[in-house]
Structure 1
């Protein structure tokens, strides 16, 4: 946002017919005196506030009054230029800009743009667990008074250069005094610059502030657009409160509240737009925003604006046709999130094709009066959806309803993309009731790396030096056939490395201790036409059943684990399940959940670098590990052991099927065919099983995997997903019933599967439980990637085992039907493997 944007402040080149403070002024005698520009910059309204009845409503702030985003940004940018000129180049290079939540977060950021090289931080009312405050203060007259300072870099506020404090209005000076008093006691400095759109202090307030500056021995300068005072008659607070009560009672009597009636026609669905926000760029200044961040955001804005314009159907430049009216577009931010939507609004304005306006939601309750002489004409009321910020309660969007907007882009950060946002009475529904087209754009909430304590890792596992930044996740189509938003792979690409070995050689090396199973890959199994037909038949038969299990496990996670979980699937069997859970959350609740895939290796643990990346970008408490199914529970135990050195992560896995009774969070405990187990990479985004080998994976690397691009012609990964997703609506009622039943059920793991495996290993003379593979999924893997000895099948098992019987026939493996088998089937690998035990078809096989 370093380039200037043309714009004009209302009244700058046009006559102001009615001042938007007339209504309050006439009824309460409130007056503005001072610079001639004050009526252009400010209107008046009344609010429910026990400390101050009137509200100065800025026309150029972009909070309560929708305004050209270029005008909003330019107002702050020009103030920043003046600050730079005041300080001089040398001091400007050392300055730090601090803005105030919530109204001045975007203004302060724009001022920092104008200063040029200054890092930016704004106060926040959203506590972030794990981030120690670097300061705090109170804003006495505000609706929400407590401010926190949570910089990612504690040194940001510890320097001696000028501190530039930015607020929308300088009314009494108390807020700035409280801030300076707190910060100066920690880190004294010689110079402060106060920036505001308007300075409305009384003479007494000015004297008090001058005395305070002399007391601390610092120079304090003031930079504003205009100055004046507010004249308040005696008794104005009580009269204002009475006026608010009178009008709100009248609105309640009419039964329509203060929100204009919604159109009778049903509202169109809200569309979600993927912005492509640059990785690692903060969503704002809550934890600090550096000049490097600014450069990366500036470079990404045109492409993000183009995505929004395409979604809105906007032409490039001015609308075509003589006399054609441009569509009216509102970019709506969310409480403290002002700068990101403002930047997007400016970029859309530059793109052309629409008349763009910008404003944001707020927690401040203001009386709406539909009168040209009043600053707040209409009000939308909706439940809070940014729960970490200030708890439950109502939130507001002003001057949006009835303003003639053709479309709105609601911009929230991912922490505010909660079920409450998508509720029937939530913000999106309120917007959709009044504006024909509603788009939702979610900016990823920035989580500072310092928020999570550095995990304890045994000294022998810590390299001498660790890179400052781990690689970003791999995504399709460059890596995997899944869409980029479906999953990010925290893996390294080993596609060009020859890793495949004949199955018989691998089995012998694994059993004789010559190699670990994760050090090589089996050759990808190429299914016959008959086997492919079995896969599609099984998918047709079980798609609804799987959709129900997907819905049940997802709803359980949302209800019991986190309202906005970060799904982390265990590659690769867990990945299709993670994608399906993400799709359910998006389809049912409009939740765009983050989803990643990581490697876990039996006997060697989970990828520690992947955990470090997750801890740096998300709250570990929100991470939910996902797998396809449990067998005997070996991976469940592996994960629990591995996470002991990584506090904050919950080791419990969420699975589609838990026949082994190893976890509490599951879709079903039945042992049935999940068709993704029938195939390997061709149903898992064309990604191989993960690889962990010392010569390929260093201490600072993610585990590896291959992308089998050459198998694209046989890929059914998205066919599998589509078949199941198509049944989501059909199973909703069943899912709700399942979740209700599960909530009243004792789901404590019994580990009955593990006990069954131990009995089988003793009965069949197999003294290594790792060679007993229970359940349909594990048995299928044995037939696809190992050299099995025999298959145990539950007597009378039906179509769920058709593919097992076919694979066993092709491999020359006997199937033995037994009674009282805990699982539908179990695959056995003989402990005395010999090279002569080859399959009937001689084909190599693959694994997970």
Structure 2
């Protein structure tokens, strides 16, 4: 292995000399590992950097795969053919997922690796902690819960054994569920002190199990007692890395690999011998696709003599095998392989230090509130000499990680890679989504579901059979409940909801039938605001096209978002000739988004292409609900709205609180479709959420009139919409600051309302309060004009006072009456739940 690695200078010398760290034992250790200093981990100051793992140090893919194959063959010799045939291999995330898979290849055994990514619908079989790590939690998510239930040997693979505590935690967790009599620990290097070796042996004896260790090299690490203090001083003394000079970004080519349907992209949910055969058979054709993509940009950037295939965190094995196949396809010694990582490490541009350069970028598979966590790629950027390390980089990610954060922002990974190489190819694999097991699901961030959605997918509904919209306008991912009586008087529903007797989504309000006076007010408002709405629609559509590309799939939040989704779709057809799919899906506050609808979207489109659309934001409750519901699914939670007065989203047409006339009415401006319904007994585990089609209200339907009036203004505002999208792209205040939520909390305190869910900010939400809740009062910003004419009319019809106030960030705010609170005389103890759409 020494000649194949071709190390000339030991990459641990810098740390060894300055921090007093020494490796002892096998002469092969310096060949296998270098040294670096960790940043941001108080538990460990030093890091062993493997030269054959393919994580931090780019290496020949044949060397990386070969290191694991060699260990697997040694385990097979140790076990013998009969026991080896019953063995299962378990690798550790994130560092050893590829190594463990390669060991399983050498052993020809089924494989599973732990993961730090929760997968909706797959309950964990177990979990354990990695005590010294910067990211400790490990989950086991086998698609087949019986994968680890057999009595054969369990082979546990990590890149290094430093104390053995992680494997001991694993063995204890699994032995309590499925006892077995033989465990094998496998690592590239075994550096456990004698005390830890004795502790692990004693634990195995206590369990009555045999425990063997197989490692490429063994020894120890001698550390001075003050290693942490020494490391801190060294880190402080290293000057900051100068930013690379600005260059024109390299060409970016995206390739959709013809990955076989149903073939796992790794071992997160298990990988069998049959899967191994399928992958081996298809690798040459996949490598041909990558080679063609590399050739596609060659005219712009020159020949790619040095190519890096870059994997992504836990996604190590598939990129490794692709790199190996690409190297065989290109010939020569041109291809190297490594992956991105969660591990923060100091970079020092010295031949005797293992981490020469570092790129830090926001996580692109981890949607969450606030700033995303930081991730890293090492030894890819140029060093002090400015010379490129690679002529081309092939970045391989799964579709869960193919999010806007991969492209968007100054420090996005793709943007940085395009600054340090001659061309970039992005290859996206489908993240394996096994069928969910039967039985109840665990609670998820979006709330508990009655059972797992694992049956056949239902079909969408289309107009005119369901809704008055054209069939090409929208596909409703809903269940038709038109024949079910769900309406109840408003006061009765309000009392049941506030007193906890029913969820808001379990019934429907009686549809408001507007008076002639109110209908005329709607048409007057539409004529006055159509151009303003068209501009907001165009700004949103141009922004989405600019940032997400032409492969958009629109998913509007039924029902208020559906007219907006149709308008965005019509803009893209008008301005760009695009025929964009559009679906309407249900989301219910407190219960999350329709999981069966998500399954449908994921089965028919790339999750990363789906954009969720709504009309406006109030205080941001649905924005938060959507983000929670989509966490870990691969769908982008960045909601697009026409108006964002609550300052809750990035993609918006305006942040002014103005009247969108579709808020003035209910079903008669929304295709004659009701709010969505989620009620046990009506909606099964494999059903979409439900809704009704009010065909009997067709005489008052203005749905198409609203759409056509706004669309007629598209030509007049096209140039302004393009300019608006350009401004939004560079707007320093674009990020949400949730100012609306703060205003709602202030109003709640001023009016003695203990539950912010009873405060409905903005003209759209206030209209809803007046149409289908029991309103208490309306707060109107002093001097607000015609946008509130319909609010004043509705308030007068229902005998609701309208108070003009100063300092209101919204045009108006509607307050739901608190009198139904259980055991309260004022507004205390309220528990209103439900999405009003």
Match of 2:14 among 20, 23, 26: 23
SS of equivalent to 2:224: coil
SS of equivalent to 2:420: coil
Match of 2:250 among 268, 288, 297: 268
Q: Could you tell me which residue of structure 2 aligns to residue 732 of structure 1?
A: 725
Q: Could you tell me which residue of structure 2 aligns to residue 803 of structure 1?
A: none
Partner Cα separation in structure 2 for residue 431 and residue 565 of structure 1: 27
Partner Cα separation in structure 1 for residue 766 and residue 569 of structure 2: 22
Match of 2:339 among 344, 354, 360: 360
Q: Could you tell me which residue of structure 2 aligns to residue 340 of structure 1?
A: 318
Q: Is the 8 A contact 1:333 1:359 kept in 2?
A: yes
- Taking a change above 3 Å as real, the CA distance of residues 315 and 730 of structure 1, as seen in their structure-2 partners, is closer
Describe the superposition over 1:728-780 as per-residue Cα deviations: whole angstroms up to 9, x where unpaired. Answer: 8566258889x99999854359799x99xxxxxxxxxxxxxxxxxxxxxxxxx
Q: Is the 8 A contact 1:661 1:749 kept in 2?
A: no
Q: Is the 8 A contact 2:32 2:51 kept in 1?
A: yes
| Per-residue deviation, 1:91 | 2.2
Partner Cα separation in structure 2 for residue 668 and residue 336 of structure 1: 51
Partner Cα separation in structure 2 for residue 582 and residue 435 of structure 1: 39
Partner Cα separation in structure 1 for residue 699 and residue 437 of structure 2: 36
- Taking a change above 3 Å as real, the CA distance of residues 33 and 181 of structure 1, as seen in their structure-2 partners, is same
| Per-residue deviation, 1:544 | 14
Q: Taking structure 2 as the reference length, what is the TM-score of the superposition?
A: 0.59
Describe the superposition over 1:532-552 as per-residue Cα deviations: whole angstroms up to 9, x where unpaired. Answer: xxxxxxxxxx99998963663
Residues 1:644 and 2:683 aligned together = yes
| Per-residue deviation, 1:82 | 2.1
Partner Cα separation in structure 2 for residue 413 and residue 471 of structure 1: 26
Q: Could you tell me which residue of structure 1 aligns to residue 380 of structure 2?
A: 400
Q: Could you tell me which residue of structure 1 aligns to residue 540 of structure 2?
A: 552
- 1:309-458 equivalence runs, <5 A: 309-313=291-295, 327-353=305-331, 355-387=334-366, 392-402=372-382, 403-422=388-407, 423-450=409-436
- Taking a change above 3 Å as real, the CA distance of residues 211 and 751 of structure 1, as seen in their structure-2 partners, is closer
SS of equivalent to 2:683: helix
Residues 1:119 and 2:110 aligned together = yes
Q: Is the 8 A contact 1:660 1:751 kept in 2?
A: no
Q: Could you tell me which residue of structure 2 aligns to residue 167 of structure 1?
A: 158
Match of 2:60 among 53, 56, 68: 68
Partner Cα separation in structure 2 for residue 582 and residue 372 of structure 1: 58
SS of equivalent to 1:343: helix
- Taking a change above 3 Å as real, the CA distance of residues 634 and 197 of structure 1, as seen in their structure-2 partners, is same
| Per-residue deviation, 1:331 | 1.1
Partner Cα separation in structure 2 for residue 198 and residue 433 of structure 1: 35
Residues 1:92 and 2:121 aligned together = no
- 1:497-508 equivalence runs, <5 A: none
SS of equivalent to 2:94: coil
| Per-residue deviation, 1:238 | 1.9
Q: Is the 8 A contact 2:149 2:178 kept in 1?
A: yes
SS of equivalent to 2:104: helix
| Per-residue deviation, 1:278 | 2.1
- Taking a change above 3 Å as real, the CA distance of residues 387 and 296 of structure 1, as seen in their structure-2 partners, is same
- Taking a change above 3 Å as real, the CA distance of residues 28 and 647 of structure 1, as seen in their structure-2 partners, is same
Partner Cα separation in structure 2 for residue 266 and residue 325 of structure 1: 17
Describe the superposition over 1:570-598 as per-residue Cα deviations: whole angstroms up to 9, x where unpaired. Answer: 9xxx99979986998xx99xxxxx97979
- 1:747-766 equivalence runs, <5 A: 747-748=764-765
Partner Cα separation in structure 2 for residue 740 and residue 399 of structure 1: 32
Q: Could you tell me which residue of structure 1 aligns to residue 264 of structure 2?
A: 282
- Taking a change above 3 Å as real, the CA distance of residues 612 and 376 of structure 1, as seen in their structure-2 partners, is closer
Residues 1:154 and 2:145 aligned together = yes
Partner Cα separation in structure 2 for residue 446 and residue 358 of structure 1: 22
| Per-residue deviation, 1:170 | 0.9
Q: Could you tell me which residue of structure 2 aligns to residue 319 of structure 1?
A: none
Partner Cα separation in structure 1 for residue 567 and residue 347 of structure 2: 44
SS of equivalent to 1:208: helix
Partner Cα separation in structure 1 for residue 768 and residue 94 of structure 2: 51
Partner Cα separation in structure 1 for residue 173 and residue 722 of structure 2: 55
Q: Could you tell me which residue of structure 2 aligns to residue 34 of structure 1?
A: 25
Q: Could you tell me which residue of structure 1 aligns to residue 274 of structure 2?
A: 292
Q: Taking structure 1 as the reference length, what is the TM-score of the superposition?
A: 0.58
CA RMSD across the alignment: 5.5
Structure 2: gaps of 5 or more residues:
383-387, 442-452, 461-473, 478-529, 587-593, 608-625, 641-661, 693-697, 741-760, 773-837
Q: Is the 8 A contact 2:563 2:707 kept in 1?
A: no
Partner Cα separation in structure 1 for residue 434 and residue 342 of structure 2: 25
Q: Is the 8 A contact 2:456 2:686 kept in 1?
A: no
| Per-residue deviation, 1:25 | 1.0
Q: Is the 8 A contact 1:636 1:662 kept in 2?
A: no
SS of equivalent to 1:273: strand
Q: Is the 8 A contact 1:52 1:237 kept in 2?
A: yes
Q: Could you tell me which residue of structure 1 aligns to residue 72 of structure 2?
A: 80
Q: Is the 8 A contact 1:68 1:358 kept in 2?
A: yes
- 1:484-499 equivalence runs, <5 A: none
- 1:293-308 equivalence runs, <5 A: 293-308=275-290
Partner Cα separation in structure 1 for residue 683 and residue 699 of structure 2: 23
- Aligned pairs, number: 588
Partner Cα separation in structure 2 for residue 12 and residue 667 of structure 1: 73
SS of equivalent to 1:405: coil
Describe the superposition over 1:627-670 as per-residue Cα deviations: whole angstroms up to 9, x where unpaired. Answer: xx9975457449757983358967799xxxxx99999xx99954
- 1:663-812 equivalence runs, <5 A: 670-672=707-709, 729=722, 732-733=725-726, 745-748=762-765
Q: Could you tell me which residue of structure 1 aligns to residue 136 of structure 2?
A: 145
| Per-residue deviation, 1:359 | 0.8
| Per-residue deviation, 1:234 | 2.7
Structure 1: gaps of 5 or more residues:
1-8, 252-257, 317-323, 456-465, 474-486, 491-541, 589-593, 601-606, 654-658, 676-723, 756-848
Moved more, 275-284 or 158-167: 275-284
- Taking a change above 3 Å as real, the CA distance of residues 740 and 409 of structure 1, as seen in their structure-2 partners, is closer
- Taking a change above 3 Å as real, the CA distance of residues 372 and 725 of structure 1, as seen in their structure-2 partners, is farther
Describe the superposition over 1:231-250 as per-residue Cα deviations: whole angstroms up to 9, x where unpaired. Answer: 22332222122212222xx3
